[in-house]
Chains A and B, each alone.
Chain A
Amino acid sequence: MNSTSAELRLQDAWRECERHVHHLFYAMAALKPLWPFTADKYGALTDEQVQDMDQFILRFTKLQDTMGERFLPAILQYLQEPYDTRPMLDKLNRLEKLGFIESVEKWQQIRSIRNRFAHDYPDDPEKNAAHINLAFETALDLYQTLAAAASRLAADPYSLAALGNPLPQSTPDWIRPGEDGSRKGNNPK
């Protein structure tokens, strides 16, 4: 692939990610008063809140898919890394080495979080609520991965002129990792 079409592909993937982030953060802002979720709160959502939650789940899923299937592979193509036909795990390992993802393991965990949304588990309301809390936290990780990739690609030695629209300035920074109780006792405040 020549460099122009690699660049176009990267910009196209970015545009899609940016739209998903926008709608994802909008849904999260709407649900902010309910965070962190509990089984009781999650079970008592109004119809409107269920719509917001569906929007969150849809955009979280699509963002993770788009980053994994389009954006991250497009980075490798843009950098002319010969990974086009290699398995995803090889691509992820290379992206970790290049510093575009925190770690392959972390990325696979995010993938698992996304996959759990494929099914409903009506008999496990406590874990459903905990899963949503974790996904909220992880939405920020996805955002930060995108933001970090954008600033790296804009700088030396890559000097990509433009990716596209910037990510939303206002992030759900009211999410404090661990406030869902997962780090009880070792989270000094």
Chain B
Amino acid sequence: MRLTPRQIEIIRQAAQVAFGPATQVWLFGSRVDDSKRGGDIDLFIETDEPDVAKIVRAEMAFLATIKMQLGDQKIDVLVNYPARTAHPPIFEIARQTGVRL
């Protein structure tokens, strides 16, 4: 996995502050692969927050926090939440191939 312990801690903390303490975060995509270089930070987040208006605010707050602390990197976030109606295949792939942070 190509994230430093400090980066992992920043991402985990920011996710829990924004989405709530029960939030789980996975890193997936090219950053999981040690043989590659650079690339977007692809994150898969699972929250128990039922209210979608709160989730969208949480996502913006989360992105703002990590960009302020990690610098302006390209970060892609997928969020799974209880009220979500569609679960595209990328969700399962992210969970299976990803690394829990």
| Residues of A bordering B, CB below 8 Å | 39, 88-89, 104-106, 108-109, 111-113, 115-116, 123-127, 129-131, 133-134, 180-182, 184
Contact = CB atoms under 8 A, between A and B. Distances in A.
A113 B58 CA distance: 11
Given A130-B53, A134-B56, A124 B64 contact: no
Interface of B: 51-57, 59-61, 63-65, 67-68, 71-72, 79, 83-86, 88
The secondary structure that dominates the B interface is: helix
A18 to B, nearest CB: 26
A113 B53 CA distance: 13
Q: Which 7 A-B pairs have the closest CB atoms?
A: A108-B64, A182-B53, A112-B63, A130-B56, A123-B86, A109-B64, A112-B60
Nearest to B88: A123
B53 A124 contact: no
Contacts, number: 65
A134 B84 CA distance: 18
Contacts of B57: 134, 182
A22 to B, nearest CB: 25
The secondary structure that dominates the A interface is: helix
Contacts of B59: 112
A129 B85 CA distance: 13
Given A105-B68, A133-B53, A182-B53, A126 B63 contact: no
A89 B67 CA distance: 10
Contacts of A115: 63
A78 to B, nearest CB: 25
A76 B55 CA distance: 35
A108 B83 contact: no
Contacts of A125: 85-86
